[in-house]
Structure 1
Amino acid sequence: MTSDASTGNAPGQREPWRDIVARYRTTHTLKSLAQVANTFPLYFALLYLMCLVLSHSYWWTLALSPMAAALLVRIAVILHDCGHGSFFRSRRANDALGTFCGFLAFVPYHQWRKAHALHHATSGDLDRRGVGDVPTLTVREYLGRSRWGRLRYRMFRSPAFYLGAGPTLLLLVGQRLVNPSSGSTERRSVHCTNAVFAGVIALTWWTGTLTAFLLVYGPVLLLSSTALVYLFYVQHQFENTYWERRERWDYFTAAVRGSSFLQLPSLLRWCTANLGYHHVHHLSSRIPNYALRRCHDENPIFHQATVITLRSSLRSLRLRLWDEDQQRLVDVSAAGPAMRAAPHGSSPLKAGVDGLP
Structure 2
Amino acid sequence: MALDHHKKESWQKIIALYGKPSVKRSIWQIINTCVPFFLLWYAAYWSLAVSYWLTLVLTCLAAGLLIRIFIIFHDCCHGSFFPNRTANEVLGTLTGILTCCPFYQWRHNHSVHHATSGNLDRGGTGDIWTLTVEEYLALPPLKRLAYRMYRNPLIMFGLGPSYIFLIDYRFNRKGAKMKERLNTYLTNLGIAAIAGLLCWTIGWKAFLLVQGPIFLISGLAGVWLFYVQHQFEGTYFEKDEKWDYVDAALRGSSFYKLPKVLHWFTGNIGFHHIHHLSPRVPNYYLKLAHEENTIFQDVVPVTLLSSLKSLKFRIWDEHRKKLMGFGYIKRYLKAQKEKER
Class of the TM-score when normalised by the shorter of the 2 chains? over 0.9
Shift of 1:13: 5.1
User: TM-score if structure 1 supplies the norm length?
Assistant: 0.90
Change (3 A) 1:205 1:291: closer
> Quick check: 1:49 aligned with 2:47?
no
**Residues 86-97 of structure 1: matches in 2 within 5 Å?**
86-97=80-91
> Quick check: 1:320 aligned with 2:326?
no
Count the aligned residue pairs: 337
Q: Match of 2:319, SS?
A: coil
Specify the code of the residue in structure 2 equivalent to 1:328.
K
- Per-residue CA shift, 1:112-163, capped at 9, x if unaligned? 1111111001101111121000000001111222344333312210111111
User: TM-score if structure 2 supplies the norm length?
Assistant: 0.94
Query: 2:227: which partner in 1?
Result: 233
> Quick check: 1:64 aligned with 2:58?
yes
Shift of 1:173: 0.9
- Per-residue CA shift, 1:77-119, capped at 9, x if unaligned? 0111111111111111111111111111111111111111110
Shift of 1:204: 4.2
- Asked if the contact 1:124/1:258 (under 8 Å) is kept, the reply is yes
> Quick check: 1:176 aligned with 2:170?
yes
Q: Match of 1:322, SS?
A: strand
Change (3 A) 1:128 1:14: same
The unaligned stretches of length 5 or more in structure 1 are 1-8, 347-357
Change (3 A) 1:316 1:341: same
- Distance of 1:71 and 1:282 partners within structure 2: 23
**Residues 194-233 of structure 1: matches in 2 within 5 Å?**
194-207=188-201, 209-233=203-227
- Distance of 2:124 and 2:195 partners within structure 1: 32
Match among 123, 129, 145 for residue 151 of structure 1: 145
Specify the code of the residue in structure 2 equivalent to 1:60.
L
Q: Cα RMSD over matched residues?
A: 1.9
Query: 2:112: which partner in 1?
Result: 118
- Distance of 2:256 and 2:228 partners within structure 1: 8
Shift of 1:70: 0.1
Shift of 1:10: 8.9
Match among 87, 100, 116 for residue 94 of structure 2: 100
Shift of 1:203: 3.4
Specify the code of the residue in structure 1 equivalent to 2:206.
A
Shift of 1:213: 1.2
**Residues 8-27 of structure 1: matches in 2 within 5 Å?**
12=6, 14-27=8-21
**Residues 244-259 of structure 1: matches in 2 within 5 Å?**
244-259=238-253
- Asked if the contact 1:239/1:330 (under 8 Å) is kept, the reply is no
- Asked if the contact 1:259/1:305 (under 8 Å) is kept, the reply is no
Q: Match of 1:274, SS?
A: coil
Shift of 1:210: 1.8
Query: 2:132: which partner in 1?
Result: 138
In percent, how many aligned pairs have the same letter? 46
- Asked if the contact 2:98/2:191 (under 8 Å) is kept, the reply is no
Shift of 1:72: 0.2
Q: Please identify, of 156-165 and 330-339, the stretch whose mean Cα deviation from structure 2 is larger.
A: 330-339
Change (3 A) 1:24 1:204: closer
- Asked if the contact 2:199/2:207 (under 8 Å) is kept, the reply is no
Of structures 1 and 2, the one scoring higher in RCO (CA 8 A, sep 6+) is: 1
- Per-residue CA shift, 1:282-338, capped at 9, x if unaligned? 001111111111111122221222310111111011111111111111111111122
Specify the code of the residue in structure 1 equivalent to 2:269.
L
- Asked if the contact 1:158/1:318 (under 8 Å) is kept, the reply is no
Shift of 1:343: 4.6
The unaligned stretches of length 5 or more in structure 2 are none
Match among 274, 287, 290 for residue 293 of structure 1: 287
- Distance of 1:308 and 1:343 partners within structure 2: 36
Q: Match of 2:229, SS?
A: helix
- Per-residue CA shift, 1:175-217, capped at 9, x if unaligned? 1111113222221121111112222344345556122111111
